Amino acid sequence: DYVNLRLEAIRAEYQKMPALHHEEEKHNLEMLKKKGKDIFHQLHLSKAKMAHRREILRGMYAELKKMCHKPDVELLQGFGDILHRSESVLLHMPQPLNLELSAGPITGLRDRLNQFRVDITLHHDEANSHIFQYGDLRIICIGCDHQNAPHTTATPTSFLAWGTQTFTSGKYYWEVYVGDSWNWAFGVCNKFWKENNQNDNICGEEGLFSLACVKNDIQFSLFTTSPLTLQYVPRPTSHVGLFLDCEAGTVSFVDVNQSSLIYTIPNCSFSPPLRPIFCCIHL
């Protein structure tokens, strides 16, 4: 259950914080539970409405089949009424729901993670105009929107860049500046995944622990890998942080601006060494 996973992940973060945040933790967890119940209720109502309208449309379809055998005059007389009813049904179809399950900010989250801050650098020959180093190299910037792209290709092109660092034990934290970019991913991967994805041919998620943003028409979706999980949280529009805990076997992603937890991938089968990875897909 996705809501329970988020609740457990947020509880785990507060357990690492001073006890004075107890009231904030209680408020955030209760708010998340309420949002989860509200969304479940809305989905149940939407499902019932769609089932009702489906039965109405099936009845209209049966009427139309019978009318096909009637004289033309009767067919035209009855057709107008059925057309009006079908249009009425379509106008009242359930609207898309807002499925965001964002939680409130966690006070002091970034301060705690900054204790494990590391500089991330990229292999020089693998860096490109879509993924570039920023400032003191504590932040990697990803830019994939069409406005900033140097060219547009007829087929999707993926750009992968690897960090020079490798991690086998310990705790580490770094940030990525994503701005308003879309179709990006970053995280850590093991040697197996890297060796099987050397030539920009991204296939499979075994050994890849990442957060990705994908644009579909006007909608944005966030998901994490290992396992592939859709994240019902707002798209971060500035900095996103990654916290790697090798001993606990977890990778956590945070929305830095909101000081909130996006998701923690639990029970990761790391198979170190692990290496940072940055990916941008230009469509």
Q: What is the pLDDT of residue 179?
A: 80
Same domain, 120 and 236: yes
Whether residue 239 sits in one domain with residue 176 = yes
User: Which helix (H) or strand (E) is 77 found in, with range?
Assistant: helix 72-91
Domain co-membership, 161 together with 206: yes
> Are both 238 and 258 inside the same structural domain?
yes
pLDDT for the residue 61: 74
User: What is the rounded average pLDDT for all residues in the chain?
Assistant: 78
What is the extent of the structural domain holding 124? 108-145+155-281
Say whether pTM exceeds 0.85. Answer: no
Name the pLDDT band for 57 (thresholds 50, 70, 90). Answer: confident
Strands of the sheet with 229-231, listed across from one edge: 157-162, 274-282, 184-190, 208-216, 219-224, 229-231
Residue 206: its pLDDT value, please? Answer: 79
- Listed range (1-10, 14-23, 82-91) with the worst mean pLDDT: 82-91
103 located within any domain: no
Residue from 190, 173, 170, 179 nearest 246 by CA: 170
H or E stretch covering 174? strand 171-177
Could you report the per-residue pLDDT of 240-261, keeping only the tens digit for each? 999 999 999 999 999 999 999 9
Please give the full DSSP string across 29-47, using - where no structure is assigned.
HHHHHHHHHHHHHHHHHHH
20-39 pLDDT, tens digit per residue, is 788 899 999 998 888 888 87
* Block residue for tokens 């204790």: 115
- Per-residue pLDDT tens over the stretch 75-102: 666 666 666 666 665 666 666 666 677 7
Residues 67 and 138 in one domain: no
CA distances from residue 153 to 156, 158, 213, 233 in whole angstroms, order as listed: 7, 11, 20, 31
Do 93 and 112 fall into the same domain? no
Poorest-pLDDT segment among 41-45, 170-174, 278-282: 278-282
Are 163 and 133 contacting, i.e. CB atoms less than 8 angstroms apart? no
3-state secondary structure of 58: helix
What pLDDT does residue 149 have?
Answer: 39
pLDDT tens readout for residues 119-133: 888 875 555 555 544
Among 48-57, 77-86, 155-164, 261-270, the minimum mean pLDDT is found in 77-86
262 and 134 fall within a common domain: yes
3-state secondary structure 206-251: CCEEEEEEEEECCEEEEEECCCCEEECCCCCCCEEEEEEECCCCEE
Which amino acid, 272?
P
Query: In this structure, are 135 and 260 located in the same domain?
Result: yes
pLDDT at 112: 94
- Residue 59 shares a structural domain with residue 162: no
pLDDT over 90 percentage in the chain: 26
- CA 111 → CA 52, 57, 152, 259, distances in Å? 52, 57, 40, 10
Whole-number pLDDT of residue 143: 55
CATH number at 124 reads 2.60.120.920
Confirm whether 150 is domain-assigned.
no
Query: Same domain for 121 and 211?
Result: yes
Q: Do residues 156 and 283 make contact, with C-beta atoms less than 8 angstroms apart?
A: yes
> Which single residue is written with the structure tokens 């209209």?
60
DSSP state at residue 132:
E
Tell me how many domains the chain contains. Answer: 2
pLDDT confidence of residue 80: 64
* C-beta atoms surrounding 276 within 10 Å: 25
At residue 257, the pLDDT reads 92
Q: Are residues 76 and 176 in the same domain?
A: no
